Structure 1
Amino acid sequence: MSAALDAAAALTRREWRNTWRQPAEWLTPLGFVVAVAVMFPLGLGPQPERLRELAPGLLWIAALLASLLALPRLFAADLADGSLEQWWLAPLPRPAAVALKLAVHWALGSLPLVLVAPLLALAFGLDDPVPLALSLLLGTPALALLGGLGAALVLHARAGAGLLALLLLPLQVPVLIFGTAAAQGGSNADAALLLLGAWLAVLLALAPWATSAALSLMLD
């Protein structure tokens, strides 16, 4: 147990350090969403009611697309430098290693978006920014888990980015639907949040195992 904990701590420190040294990897998704939030009102024009109506769906679509930006390179560097093989030799279950990497990926790539979501909601004139923030807090980890699985499956594909988008978008539709419904508030928000949380729980239970299995196949 001690060896597994030490391996988990070492892997977390390594992933955090490597990702932090590449700010473009984790600032690009946030910058993309902020740019969409700034440009969309300019294109639509001064229609406050229309902006409030479209804001939840728009911000969620932007968050979904932003989550795809760094995925083609998620495991590529680890494969190139041999780190991926070292994970498999470490005294740590493979799904746990995958889960730790995806947790760091989410913390730097998506958590900043969750933190600025109330400001984006207020910029669009939403009366209550809490539903949007809560929906992103539950939904973006689900996107990260699905993204990790997709990145593992297309690790050796030449047209990885395009294939990854085609593979993931159908799987991400439930997250988008539940997240947008929750962000809109109203009487259906609680039910949408529960469904989003249930989908996240399913992915937490299954996605790390499936991703580690896909990576094992890619290494064979």
Structure 2
Amino acid sequence: MLPLVARDLRRAWAGGGLLWPIAFFLLVAILFPFAVGPDAALLGRIGGGVIWAAALLAALLPAERLVAPDLEGGVIDQFAVRDVPLALVAAAKLAAHWLGFAPALMLATVVAAALLDLSAATLMRVELGLLLGTPGLAALGLATGALVAGLRGAGAIAGLVMLPLAVPLLIFGTGEGAGALKLLGATSLLLVAGAPFVTAAAMRAGLD
């Protein structure tokens, strides 16, 4: 599994492929204060929600490149021929996708918090929420990428599929208190547990 994770990580970072989601995330944080004005109290109240919405959209950007290139290049066929479980391949892709964007996103959140004038306590809560929730975002991105692989307009379709499914993560991620974090962690864990099997089924269908 480790060679699969390393391979996907190298491919994801080649040519700055995962820099675009982080750049998009920071661009939203930069532009949002211009849209709502310089009211520090207002930015402090809604800043956490802005960061979560930007993180969701940033996680969506690479979705169509997670599975489609391997299906088109015959890599998935080779795994199937060699009896490598496709759920294991999907789990490796999930780990690589999370490692590729989540740590950088959490670092960029510090910059975004400064731009949105968030307090240290709010920043810590948002960072903890992202730590719990980004595995779920990565799982949704991977499963969505597998479901839309090979379709025309895959990027737009991926958005239509993924955004409604991500609403619970967004709601619990922006919630207050330990209860919201527990629900966020439970939702993220459920998505991580199910995504490899959904992805494997979609890849298997793509081979037929």
1:14 to 7, 24, 28: 7
Deviations 1:141-189 (A, max 9, x none): 10110111111111121121111111111111001101111xxxxxx32
Structure with bigger RCO (C-alpha 8 Å, 6+ apart): 2
Map of 2:160 onto structure 1? 166
Which moved further from structure 2: 47-56 or 73-82?
A: 73-82
Shift of 1:90: 4.3
Consecutive unaligned residues of structure 1, counting only runs of 5 or more, are 1-7, 182-187
CA distance in 2, matches of 1:151, 1:216: 14
**Contact (CA 8 Å) 2:68, 2:146: kept in 1 or not?**
no
Aligned counterpart, 1:184? none
Mark the runs of 5 or more structure 2 residues left unpaired by the alignment: none
C-alpha distance in structure 2 between counterparts of 1:170 and 1:92, whole Å: 32
The residue number in structure 1 matching 2:61 is 69
- Aligned to 1:130, which of 105, 124, 130? 124
1:86 aligned to 74, 78, 82, which one?
A: 78
Paired with 2:9 and 2:116, the residues of 1 have a C-alpha distance of 33
Per-residue deviation, 1:123: 3.2
TM-score, length basis structure 2: 0.92
> Partner residue of 1:213?
201
Q: Does 1:203 align with 2:191?
A: yes
Residue 141 (structure 1) aligned with residue 170 (structure 2) = no
Q: How far 1:42 moved relative to its partner?
A: 2.2
2:39 pairs with one of 39, 42, 47: 47
- Map Cα deviations across residues 107-147 of structure 1 (whole Å, 9 max, x no partner): 11222111232332233222211110011111111011011
Q: TM-score, normalised by structure 1?
A: 0.88
Alpha-carbon deviation of 1:34? 0.6
Alignment root-mean-square deviation, CA:
1.5
The AA in structure 2 aligned to 1:200 is S
2:71–2:206: 8 Å Cα contact kept in structure 1? no
SS at match of 2:166: helix
Q: Which shifted more, 168-177 or 77-86? A: 77-86
| Identity value in percent | 40
Specify which of 159, 175, 191 is matched with residue 169 of structure 2: 175
1:106 aligns with 2:94: no
Q: CA deviation at 1:20?
A: 2.2
